[in-house]
Amino acid sequence: MANLPDRSGWLNGPLALYPPIPPFPDLTHFERRALAVLGELFVSASGRFAKQVEACRVVDRVDTKVGFYTRIAVDRTKTTALPISRKGGHFDVPGTQHGLSITLWDDDGYLSTIEGVTYGGDDLGGQSLVDLDFIGYQLANGN
């Protein structure tokens, strides 16, 4: 397939062949809102996390039909590292039966991936990633 980003080391198998989903380099409305909420997990470092979000750009996004993966690049000259991986939460998304779980992943302390997954065979109800929103959430602090 032409025009696929280099996904080696990030996605493999059939997902690596899925088309990239815009907008680039911007976060979607859902991603931006979810990251603002997830900033609460960083307590005294929430400002540092917010700076990473401000200094990020989306380099790839895949719609898996039961969720998504968004690959992020953070300008490391504008912020500092902090533990991010496995922090996340549950988001109540209209059009889904059980909502969406969001997990954050880092690369050496810098946000690298936003992973969104529905529960129990649920899907996104045919919604595009650009149209996703949430009406409630519950945070979960990973290890």
- The 3-state DSSP class for residue 111 equals strand
Where are the alpha helices (H) located in 4-95, listed in sequence order?
29-38, 46-54
Tens of pLDDT, residue by residue, the chain (143 residues) = 458 899 999 999 999 999 999 999 999 999 999 999 999 999 999 999 999 999 999 999 999 999 999 999 999 999 999 999 999 999 999 999 999 999 999 999 999 999 999 988 788 988 999 999 999 999 986 54
pTM of the model: 0.95
CA 78/CA 112 separation, integer angstroms = 15
